[in-house]
Amino acid sequence: MEYVILDVDTGIDDALALAYAIQSPALHVLGLTTSFGNHVVDITTENTLKVLEILGATDIPVAKGAGKPLLRSPLKANATHIHGEDGIGNTYLPKPKATAIDQHAADFIIEQVRKYPKQVTLITVASQTNLALAIMKDPEIVSLVKRVVIMGGAVTVPGNVTPVAEANIYTDPEAAELVFQSGIPITLVGLDVTMQTLLTKEHTQMWRESGTPVGKFLASCSEFYMDAYAKINPYLGGCALHDPLAVGVVIDPSFVQASPMYVQVDTEGSASIGRTIGDRRNPPKQSPNMDVCLQVDVNRFVSHFLQQVITKNNI
């Protein structure tokens, strides 16, 4: 079993990633850390607690983290047009009973990584701010983290917040660049692969028909996400499983094919800020600093995701 910490900005696809990860027999979730992104950090933290409650997993600790980027004023507003006013598809779940633990996300990461040296995989599906703060506070964790699987970036495809930048990198480009250059083993799960993994209304219909609270919640928030996607691209036919794919890559690395590559974040450009620039020259001139996922077995991953979410959550 893989020890993991998920860093989230819950968020609809973050909620789907939680439903996939928490009950997975392959993963032991040590805790969840939260940051700003899809909404302000107070709301993403509350949403994380709400989702844990509906999944019946309130024993998992939640540590609240960064509310703003490392160095700069926020580049982008909350993504309420994609994720809803409440951040989870206007499902307005009841206030959670549990609260976040009394420890900053960065300190939780340091504590767990030191407790389980070279055993913890971090799955970061939000900005890299919490991990960057942890590295700045305790640089030794770089050699103690097993691996970071990052949902972020767009190395070979267009961005989703700007023509070239993906949301989780654009949210805090300096934090992402710090993590990229830190020496931590990284697997980058970017739009290159996540935009191919689609959830459709046929899938959510199954969840809705189950009549269970989890099934109805996941169907409602996912359908909100699909409608938001349809406004941007009416031909897509679904919503992308960005954050669940990062979890999937930890559960079964054979869902993707990854190539070693040097990638840096543009932190200075104006039109290009937040772009993830990969050295794709042949041969490359810079030594790789990560594995970049470039191909995904869409059918095998989506089937596994659906099957796990349904059976493990009794939907």
Residues that bind ligand BDR (CB under 6 A): 11, 13-14, 38, 79, 125, 151, 160, 166-168, 242-243
Q: Rounded to the nearest whole angstrom, what is the least distance from the CB of residue 153 to ligand BDR in the complex?
A: 9
State yes or no: residue 166 binds Ca ion (CB under 5 A). no
304 has catalytic annotation: no
Find which of Ca ion, ligand BDR, none residue 266 binds, CB within 5 to 8 Å per kind: none
**Residue in the shown chain whose Cβ atom is closest to ligand BDR:** 167
Q: How far apart are CA 50 and CA 265, in angstroms?
A: 33
Q: How far apart are CA 17 and CA 100, in angstroms?
A: 19
Candidates 83, 104, 203, 242; catalytic one: 242
State yes or no: residue 11 binds Ca ion (CB under 5 A). yes
End-to-end alpha-carbon separation of the chain, Å?
24
Count the site residues for Ca ion by CB under 5 A: 6
Residue type for 181, please? Q
Q: Rounded to the nearest whole angstrom, what is the least distance from the CB of residue 194 to Ca ion in the complex?
A: 11
If the CB atoms of residues 29 and 125 are measured against Ca ion, the closer one turns out to be: 125
**Of residues 221-250, which lie at the interface with Ca ion (CB under 5 A)?**
243
If the CB atoms of residues 69 and 144 are measured against ligand BDR, the closer one turns out to be: 69
Length of the chain: 315
Residue ranges of E strands in the chain: 2-8, 27-34, 62-64, 120-124, 147-151, 186-189, 198-199, 239-240, 256-261, 263-265, 276-278, 290-296
In this structure, what token pair is assigned to residue 134?
A: 């942890």
State yes or no: residue 125 binds Ca ion (CB under 5 A). yes
Q: How far apart are CA 191 and CA 12, in angstroms?
A: 16
If the CB atoms of residues 13 and 177 are measured against ligand BDR, the closer one turns out to be: 13
Tally Cβ neighbours within 10 Å of residue 185: 16
Helix residue ranges per DSSP H, 32-72: 41-55
State yes or no: residue 215 binds Ca ion (CB under 5 A). no
Rg of the Cα atoms in the chain: 18
If the CB atoms of residues 91 and 208 are measured against Ca ion, the closer one turns out to be: 91
Find which of ligand BDR, Ca ion, none residue 197 binds, CB within 5 to 8 Å per kind: none
If the CB atoms of residues 107 and 243 are measured against Ca ion, the closer one turns out to be: 243
- List interacting residues with Ca ion (CB under 5 A): 9, 11, 14, 125-126, 243
Q: What residues are annotated to the active site?
A: 242
